[in-house]
A and B are shown apart, each in its own frame.
Chain A
Amino acid sequence: MKALTAFWMRLLAFTLLVVIAGILLIERGSPPKTAMGGDGLPSAGTLSPVYAAPLQVKLVDLIPASLSGETNQDSEPFLAVQAANPQVMVASAFTPNPVSSSSNAPVYVSQDGGNTWVLNAITPVPRMTCDITHAMPTGENHPRGDLHAGTLACAASITLDESESNDVSSGAVMNVQSTRSNVDQPFVRALAISNSDHIYVGINDFNQPNGHTATVDVSVDGGVTYKSFSIEARNTAGQDGPSVRPAVAPDNTVYAAFFGWRKFNGTTATSDVVVVRDDAGGTGPNPFQALRDPSDKLPGRLVVKGASIPWSNGPALGQERIGSTLSIAVDPNNSSTVYVGWADHGRKGDIYTLHVRRSTDRGVTWSKADLPQTTIGNATNIALAVANNGVVGLLYQQLSAGRWVTHVVQSHDGFATAQDLILANVPADTPVQQFLPYLGDYDYLLSVGNEFRGVFCSNNSPELANFPQGVTYQRAADFSIKTLTDGSGNRVAVSIDPFYFSVPVIP
């Protein structure tokens, strides 16, 4: 009897010890919270495997505590998640080097699944990038790499650098592998195949002849060499639209979507929404020509013909400019299923209308109308992703009743039914724009295990009501009086910050 009692006592003590140790570990791995609501993911390094089930929505303001005094317009966010270890992530925005106009532009780095972020000045661009996107496929097996980025430098001429980092936690500046000028909006996707990183950079390349500017730069050797392929086969209005978006499936299927500009009058582009496909990772004899349109037999399937897309390089949708929001996503386990989303002047009374269409036969045919619930008025920054279970995610930002409302929508049946979460609902007139874009020409969404992860930009006023799913600030903020401070008690003005989020994929 005594032995039995002693056994149970020891078991109870051991259990308590484990629970306490677990709590301590979680506390140590979490950032100091200035607001409650959404809880953080358990750190994979402490409690769970890397694809741990997210408990609920996580939303984190990326600005670190040591930059609490900043008031920049940190717009146009992007996110890369390391394929081998999704605890490691890199995010970016129009965030200037915080201390020097001649030092390198920074990125945000997290090594704990997005709970905390540091700013590390490792891009090859001085002070601040003009555009930046990136991916971390880790084909080269670097524990905190391989970050591949496409950056534009803002100087007298705009220059593209395609570069890599093997360790994003170090202070080493990214190694530039390729560079050229006279291009726009690099958009990087990548995949690790056979110990090599395959990199696909969608760009609008004004060096291409005959105005066939929609281009994909392809590297199948981790960026050591790149080949450029124009993916436009038709006559253009001198050029295509800025957005060229690749999507890569693990079976080596690569899609790319672009705006084939047919006419442009300065305020409106008459544009086709075009999708191309390659079945060999862009390495075959006729890259990106697997799809042909039945109307003219030319490469590139015309999902929509002659869409009227408003072009404004001034404030048009609230304080935001419009003209080229586009996204494409492929099912990672079934590359026949692909979604494309864009915005045009679709409905009377709307400034900018989002649409989503789907193909289930490798882009050969497309839904003739928008998928249910995906014709969305006065919205921009569309981003699509497909999870491992086939659930499609849709991120967008809508101007509604004088507020910017950031939605992430999920559906397992092509949006016939959907779960719509509002991540942020903030005043659209505050702060006043410092430059364009106000929130960004894009935001980003991707799937990681059983999570959708993404980034968007928003007014950073510390008001819980603005973030219905909860939020965590790293920077100094007092939610009780809705005030930002510089860490020494001095008030700091509201500005635009990048926010990281994780949302559990619906079953």
Chain B
Amino acid sequence: MNSSLNFLAGILSTALLAPSVAGFPQGQNNQSALAKQSSIIFSGTVSQLGAVSFVGVPQSSQTIVVRVDSVLKKPPAVSLKKGDNITVEVKDPSTFQQGAQATFYAEGWIFGSGVAVKELGHDFNPGAGAPAESAPTGETALGRMQKQISDQDLQNRIAASDLVVIGRVTDVHRWTIPKSAAARYPISEHSADWHEAVLQIKTILKGTKPKGGKMAVRFPLSRDVAWVNSPKFQKQQQGIFFLKRDQVSGDPTATLGGYQVAAYTCLKPGDWLPLSDEARVRSLLKK
């Protein structure tokens, strides 16, 4: 929670303190893209040039050590806090001097006794001191920025789907590839353990409604590392399904009510969303 607040506050302060970048729509777009791309965002003070902060990081003229003043965004697993020294591999070391204060947009690089990151971008902080720790008036705007990032991901998912369906699972059964199919089914610890969910379609949000209002959706029930994050369906489960024509299981067709129909798959985390996301999905479909 604190991390999120810090993130919002940090983006805000960067926007306030660096009007040349963030004061215009183009700047906001750049910042939004950088924020999306960055796994770690922090504000800090450059303490050493051409140096590294811990053993195991290759030292070069591009590496600088920065004392962290404020952590704006980081994954929960990463230990990084105010006062830590972090190694940054910067794009252009000539732009940095000792004592310079900047907000760094970065991706993770090496994790050891400390953290090393690669710079994706930076904004120099013109004023002294760290970004403001809280800025309630700007949180709404920055919340919008995060929502935009999340919406963009969802829009990409919609675009990549053959069908987007609101429906309810009426049956789940194990599915094995028919002997007539061309593909073989090797036995492996990574075997998907394919199951088929029969989906009663309530609404089609994208694509053409299949005949009969039902469709077959294949998903891996396996708990193997290869498939554990795929959605697993149960009878009566409702929601929004982002589906692709089956190009994975080995047979692109299914038998439903005695008819042969196209089979679909639902494989990636996020390919199923609860009904509470319906309005959001509908609004994105209109864009």
Contacts and interface: CB of A to CB of B under 8 A. Distances in A.
A109 B56 contact: yes
A239 interface: yes
Interface in B160-182: none
B118 interface: yes
A313 B222 contact: yes
B275 interface: no
A336 interface: no
Contact of A436 (B58, B114, B188, B225): B225
Interface string A60-90: 0000111111111001100000000000000
A66 B189 contact: no
Contacts of B39: 99-100, 103
Given A66-B113, A170-B58, A98 B75 contact: yes
Nearest to A109: B56
Contacts of A109: 56
B202 interface: no
Contact of B225 (A111, A185, A311, A435): A435
Contacts of B77: 67, 69-72, 98
Given A99-B78, A487-B81, A313 B111 contact: no
Contacts, number: 151
Provide the main secondary structure of the chain B interface.
loop
Interface residues of B, number: 43
Given A116-B55, A206-B184, A66 B109 contact: no
A433 B223 contact: yes
Given A98-B78, A103-B107, A206 B186 contact: yes
A266 to B, nearest CB: 9
Contacts of B57: 118
Provide the main secondary structure of the chain A interface.
loop
Contacts of B40: 99
Interface string A268-298: 0000000000000000000000000000000
B151 interface: no
Contacts of B248: 156-157
A121 B108 contact: yes
21 contacts: A32-B113, A66-B114, A67-B78, A67-B79, A99-B74, A116-B56, A119-B111, A171-B58, A185-B188, A204-B188, A238-B184, A239-B186, A242-B189, A311-B187, A436-B222, A436-B223, A436-B224, A474-B113, A486-B76, A487-B79, A488-B81
Interface of A: 31-32, 64-72, 75-76, 94, 97-100, 103, 106, 109, 111-112, 116-121, 128, 130, 152, 154, 156-158, 169-171, 182, 184-185, 204, 206, 213, 238-239, 242, 264, 311, 313-314, 321, 323-324, 433-437, 441, 474, 476, 486-488
